[in-house]
Amino acid sequence: SGSFLQGITISDVAVDYTEKGLEYRILEIPRIEVSYKATDLWHKRWLLSRVEVQNPKIILKKDPEGHFLLPKLKKAKGLKGTSLFNFKVEQVFVKEGTFEFLSASDSLKFDSLDFQLALSKEKSNWEVVFQNGKMKDSQKNLNLNGLQGKVRLEGDRIELENLHLLPMVSEEQVDGD
């Protein structure tokens, strides 16, 4: 829904893992609001000004052997053999989300996730710039009151730049290249 000239609203997004006997819902998003300038899209500039993801519920599971249970993406028929196109999202807001990690030996559940970030992809390189982030795990009292910095994914390499993590009690800084 929404005005196609300025943005759209996407409702009830779900991603399921469907291997027999191991089925579960990986992702559930009740609402995503996307804002853009139609002229950018018209001129084939994949630039979104704002994406707001409301109340996402994310669950990651591992099988008994320790492998992540993630769907295998199949190439759609009729598409060229190119990778995902280049794009940029100037502002991404993740509001009131939850994240749960489950394995045979351990679990972790964040009851509250709130992030503000920017996201871009060029060729095979991804960049995420965290402007702010908060996470809360009430079971293990693992709380993060602030997250800032840059994460780059280049092929199979991860680069951290000026990554600052602010726990609820004191400030710790993690930097890396």
Q: What is the DSSP code string of 19-50?
A: -TT--EEEEEEEEEEEEE-HHHHHTT--EEEE
The model's pTM:
0.78
pLDDT in tens, 65-103: 888 888 876 665 655 554 567 899 999 999 999 999 888
Residue spans of the chain under pLDDT 50: 82, 170-172
pLDDT for the residue numbered 71: 81
- Strands 125-137 and 142-154, how do they pair? antiparallel
Distance, in Å, from the CA atom of 114 to the CA atom of 122, rounded to the nearest integer, reads 26
pLDDT for the residue numbered 173: 53
Distance, in Å, from the CA atom of 142 to the CA atom of 140, rounded to the nearest integer, reads 5
